[in-house]
Structure 1
Amino acid sequence: MTLATEWVRYGKNQEYIGYIAKMDRVKENLPAVIVIQEIWGVDEHIQDITERFAEAGYLAFAPDLYAKDGTREEELRTERVTEVKAFLDSLPHSVWNNPDEREQALRELEEEKQNRITKTFERMFGGINSSDYIEQLLAASSFLREEYEASKGQGVASVGFCMGGALSAQLACRDLKLKGAVIFYGNAPKDEDIKHIQCPVYGFYGEQDKRISDNVPHLAEQMQQNGKSFEYKIYQKTGHAFFNDTRASYNVSSARDAYQQVLQFFHQVLATETK
């Protein structure tokens, strides 16, 4: 069975855009999965993940969080983000968060390219507040539940990666109708927000990703104290972004296991509802 894919506009004034995928021969309304991007945007990898969930029988939707009124600002355009990603991939991962070493590597580039990468890097890693995107994600879940014909009346769950993982958790705190939320190596929500969560949450982390994984036991404790459902797996000998098969960080065994667990989770929380 082939997929039907398209970019659609949504939001109160159609100000947002997202990538949708579903099995083209399926006529009944489908439960929906919101796929929340990494910091790199709705790139080919995120579109591929969206299509994987569509192939599993869901209406899958990846909101482009960087786009407003159908376009991105100059510093967040696809080609600019791709240029930053290629630059960082050329460096050891330890250099990414070391400003001095990163600046040294930048100085080896021609001046115009230096300027482009610097501006986009600062915009991506210093000028983006993930909470700015929650209203857009709330609009997405409402759109899928109440407006989009192929998923109208069905349940909605979320899955996010890195920045998107943190947003998936934040969406669970804000969207009281969300059926489930999956976090891939994303920061935990604030302790005071956890009390608002109404759905099961599942987290997947790499043991070597200490900045994130060291905080997971605290999240588990807070979820338990607030009577919330939280399962998680921390994969040994696994780092950050282990699910991204376009990166050197990809860990096939951890990614394979996590994907199976996610599908099982969605099967549990997204039982088909009648209209």
Structure 2
Amino acid sequence: MADGTPKIDIPKEVFALYDAYCHGDLSRRAFFSKLSTFAGGGITVSMLAACVMPDYNRLQTQPGEAGLVEADITYPSPAGAGTMGGYLVRPAGATGPLPAILVIHENRGLNPYIRDVVRRAASAGYVAFGPDALFPLGGYPGNDDDGRALQAQRTREEMYADFVAAAEFLRDHSAVNGKVAVTGFCFGGAISNQLAVDLPWLSASVPYYGGWPAGEAAARLEVPLQIHLASDDPRVNEGWVSYEAALKAAGKAYEVHWYKDTQHGFHNDTTPRYDPEAAALAWRRTLEFFAAHLG
């Protein structure tokens, strides 16, 4: 590694442990305890943990990027938290309203990676907005462990109402022309899937490796849908089988893209699960899909 730490070949089982930890199936103590099984030969538990934990020094963009106008703002969410917060970024010098992209975070709040994705979307010519489900609890706390614990304190129903309110806030914003698409990752992918069936006025939805709505919801889908899935992600992929069957039975159109030899989270460039080639291809397809449906 660039910092002088020896390169470690991370066993797939370690990634599986990290996935279970990220999704609440393992406590932090149990995660580190199980990592000890793979330590040895000069490789310590802390070294293994460092290899799978996010490193936000790897971000593709930074706050203050040239050509972007950034602001942390609040918006009303009467059916959710009451008042919510998020990160709004738009291209500088825009001469009129633009289409917008709502970016929904994973299960740990609006962390630096998701803020980076918001900036990337704005750099592509959109007004981009990332709401922070942790805003009512003080906002993203500066690390994913505490962020995950905080998000677990909120109900999914209330957070969902906050994301619906974010979509409506973005649609009605003076810098937006009324067209809104949504994308999200993991937890955010699941929310993006659900918004696609609940908000028929959306212009497009692009979920990345998220959970699925109930099968009967597929009949309500009217929003153009593009799905990105990792090949090695049984937690998510098992549910896709039944949801795809429901979409087909309802005669609904969708795109699905599979990425060979990738893991859950392959788009996240701050962890070793990142696959540069797959992530670049998925993001290019995402922007092409948005361009086709947002103009």
TM range (shorter): 0.7 to 0.9
State how far apart, in whole Å, the 1-side matches of 2:188 and 2:259 are: 19
Q: Name which of structure 1's ranges 214-223 and 262-271 shifts more when overlaid on structure 2.
A: 214-223
Residues 53-102 of structure 1: per-residue CA shift (max 9 Å, x gap): 1010111000111112xxx25xx7513xx162xxxxxxxxxxxxxxxxxx
Look up the equivalent residue of 1:42 and give its one-letter code: L
Over the matched positions of the two proteins, sequence identity in percent amounts to 29
Residue 134 of structure 1 corresponds to 160
Residue 43 of structure 2 corresponds to none
State how far apart, in whole Å, the 2-side matches of 1:37 and 1:179 are: 19
1:145 and 2:208 matched: no
Residue 36 of structure 1 corresponds to 104
State how far apart, in whole Å, the 2-side matches of 1:34 and 1:196 are: 21
1:8 and 2:8 matched: no
CA contact (8 A) 1:134 1:170 kept: no
Local SS of the residue matching 2:175: coil
Cα displacement (A) at 1:163: 0.4
TM-score by length of 1: 0.77
Look up the equivalent residue of 2:236 and give its one-letter code: I
RMSD of aligned Cα (Å): 1.9
Local SS of the residue matching 1:193: helix
Could you tell me which of 267, 275, 293 is aligned with 1:251? 275
Q: In the superposition, relative to structure 1, how do residues 160 and 12 fare at CA in structure 2: closer, same or farther (>3 Å)?
A: closer
Residue 232 of structure 1 corresponds to 256
Matches within 5 A, 1:71-86: 72-73=137-138, 77-79=140-142, 82=143, 84=145
Cα displacement (A) at 1:210: 1.2
Give unpaired runs (5+ residues) of structure 1.
Answer: 85-116
TM-score by length of 2: 0.72
Look up the equivalent residue of 1:21 and give its one-letter code: V
State how far apart, in whole Å, the 2-side matches of 1:26 and 1:121 are: 36
Q: In the superposition, relative to structure 1, how do residues 121 and 150 fare at CA in structure 2: closer, same or farther (>3 Å)?
A: closer
Higher-RCO chain (CA-CA 8 Å, sequence separation at least 6): 1
Give unpaired runs (5+ residues) of structure 2.
Answer: 1-65
Q: In the superposition, relative to structure 1, how do residues 121 and 140 fare at CA in structure 2: closer, same or farther (>3 Å)?
A: closer
Cα displacement (A) at 1:124: 4.2
Local SS of the residue matching 1:234: strand
1:178 and 2:202 matched: yes
- Which consecutive segments of 4 or more residues in structure 1 shift more than 4 A? 120-125
Q: Name which of structure 1's ranges 129-138 and 180-189 shifts more when overlaid on structure 2.
A: 129-138
